[in-house]
């Protein structure tokens, strides 16, 4: 049975034949040509075979899929091919959204819109997630409000941001963020996990998006659902430039989240950004190095726990090495428990107590042994031996 593509290739319209040829994969088009030759006794005319490209994963005997052809034509911006395929496929409005997501050519977007493209919050979220400004412009132009929220299924699909501005700023698509703000998006609207666009941009380190939001008077003191702030998010990720920008706009270094933690408590990870410089910036802005969360943990305890280099500026600022959390863990006990020898050595040089005992009577040596941190155990025993205080 001949498909619409067969019909065109067997016909007399050279322009239409060229449209089909440039959209189909070469092996699929080769099979189509053989089918046409078998049906008519002659090869189709008007085909520029040099235009074709070999995609991966297409079997030699695979028949051309018109839907794949539509997606590829939209992605390549081949408006004539898209126009022809739309007259034969008649896709649903929802399916057209997924096709439009791959299209960056305004003419292709216009064709898909004329064919019934579904203008919905889903299309809005998809456009900003991919940074597809032509699709976003079309959706906004069709009357979809820039603050429209997606459904729960879309929330699962796209992650935390359930509205467009937060999604654009999380992904760093500055042009999309500009378009949304120009269309009247609420700069401080919160969705998903309760995070604002400024928080998302700070978390991901998109400085230009943050500057745009702040230019539109974004609230640097806004709180998430867990009462977190953009400064906490930037500090957690080690985004030094973002931390500095927020501090320049008078972000509150003393603000606490639901667990009582300040931004300084978030300067604790070892695998992201420049935590040392973030810690220094917060201290210079007046952050309290003695501030503890509801569990009694200070920034120094977290730095010791994670083996973070920010421990040095905290010690220089006078952080208490002898403070303990609700379980009696001091920075030294935390460092030994997690096998962070370099941190233990630094704490020891500053006079930390190696013989501190937790609330349940556990010592540093016991903690290191339980966790199989042999180097820490050996160091503790050697120190005790050299001071001639090793128990008999």
Range in 30-34, 116-120, 221-225, 288-292 with the lowest mean pLDDT:
30-34
**Cα distance between residue 116 and residue 96, in whole Å:** 8
Higher pLDDT, 245 or 67: 245
**Cα distance between residue 44 and residue 6, in whole Å:** 9
> What class does CATH assign to 321-392?
mainly alpha
Higher pLDDT, 181 or 309: 181
Over the stretch 83-121, which tens digit does the pLDDT of each residue have? 877 877 788 888 888 889 889 899 999 999 999 988 888
Residue 55 pLDDT grade (very low, low, confident, very high; cuts 50, 70, 90): very low
HEC letters along 215-237: HCCCCCCCCCCCCCCHHHHHHHC
**Cα distance between residue 187 and residue 163, in whole Å:** 11
Say if CB 45 and CB 36 are below 8 A apart: no
Q: Give the helix, strand, coil percentages of the chain, each rounded to 5.
A: 55, 0, 45
- Adjacent-strand bridge partners of 191: 195
- How remote is the C-alpha of 23 from its chain's centroid? 33
**Cα distance between residue 318 and residue 301, in whole Å:** 13
Q: Determine the average pLDDT of the residues in 219-248.
A: 94
Range in 36-40, 65-69, 129-133, 173-177 with the lowest mean pLDDT:
36-40
CA distances from 251 to 222, 232, 313 (A): 10, 10, 21
- pLDDT of residue 390 exceeding 60: no
| Number of Cα atoms under 13 Å in the Cβ half of residue 100 | 37
**Residues above pLDDT 70, as percent of the chain:** 76
Q: What is the dihedral of CA 375, 380, 383, 386, to 10 degrees?
A: -90
**Cα distance between residue 277 and residue 146, in whole Å:** 37
> Which letter does DSSP use for residue 24 in this model?
S
Range in 68-82, 199-213, 301-315 with the lowest mean pLDDT:
68-82
Residue 203 pLDDT grade (very low, low, confident, very high; cuts 50, 70, 90): very high
- pLDDT of residue 272 exceeding 90: no
- How remote is the C-alpha of 275 from its chain's centroid? 19
- pLDDT of residue 15 exceeding 80: no
- pLDDT of residue 162 exceeding 50: yes
- How remote is the C-alpha of 108 from its chain's centroid? 28
- Provide the 3-class DSSP secondary structure of residue 163: strand
- Provide the 3-class DSSP secondary structure of residue 298: strand
Range in 30-34, 51-55, 66-70, 288-292 with the lowest mean pLDDT:
51-55
Task: List all residues 6 or more positions away from 155 whose beta carbon is below 8 Å from its beta carbon.
Answer: 162, 192
Say if CB 209 and CB 170 are below 8 A apart: no
Q: Determine the average pLDDT of the residues in 209-215.
A: 98
């Amino acid at each position: 049975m001949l498909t619409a593509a067969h019909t065109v290739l067997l016909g007399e319209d050279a322009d239409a034949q060229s449209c089909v040829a440039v959209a189909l994969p070469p092996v699929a088009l080769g099979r189509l040509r053989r089918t046409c030759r078998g049906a008519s006794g002659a090869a189709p005319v008007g085909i520029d075979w040099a235009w074709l490209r070999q995609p991966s994963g297409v079997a030699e005997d695979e028949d051309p899929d018109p839907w794949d052809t539509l997606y590829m034509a939209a992605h390549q911006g081949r408006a004539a091919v898209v126009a022809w395929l739309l007259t034969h496929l008649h896709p649903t409005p929802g399916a057209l959204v997924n096709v439009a997501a791959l299209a960056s050519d305004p003419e292709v977007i216009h064709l898909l819109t004329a064919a019934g493209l579904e203008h919905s919050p889903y299309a809005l979220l998809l456009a900003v997630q991919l940074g597809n400004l032509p699709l976003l412009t079309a959706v906004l132009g069709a009357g979809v409000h820039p603050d429209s929220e997606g459904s729960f299924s879309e929330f699962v699909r796209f992650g935390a941001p359930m509205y467009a501005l937060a999604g654009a700023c999380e992904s760093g698509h500055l042009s999309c963020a500009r378009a949304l703000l120009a269309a009247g998006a609420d700069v401080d609207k919160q969705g998903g996990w309760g995070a604002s666009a400024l928080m998302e941009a700070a978390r991901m380190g998109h400085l230009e998006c943050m500057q745009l939001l702040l230019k539109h008077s974004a609230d640097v003191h806004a709180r998430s659902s867990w009462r977190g702030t953009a400064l906490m998010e930037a500090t957690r990720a080690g985004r030094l430039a973002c931390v500095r920008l927020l501090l320049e706009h008078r972000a509150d270094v003393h603000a606490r989240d639901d667990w009582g933690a300040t931004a300084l408590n978030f300067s604790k990870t070892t695998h992201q950004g420049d935590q040392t410089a973030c810690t220094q910036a917060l201290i210079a802005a007046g952050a309290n190095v003695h501030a503890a969360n509801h569990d009694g943990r200070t920034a120094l305890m977290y730095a010791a726990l994670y083996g973070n280099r920010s421990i040095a500026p905290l010690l220089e600022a006078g952080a208490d090495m002898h403070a303990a959390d609700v379980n009696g863990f001091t920075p030294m006990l935390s460092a030994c428990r997690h096998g962070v020898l370099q941190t233990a050595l630094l704490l020891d040089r500053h006079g930390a107590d190696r013989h501190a005992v937790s609330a349940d009577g556990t010592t540093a040596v016991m903690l290191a042994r339980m966790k199989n941190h042999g180097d820490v155990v050996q160091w503790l025993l050697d120190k005790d031996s050299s001071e001639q205080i090793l128990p008999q």
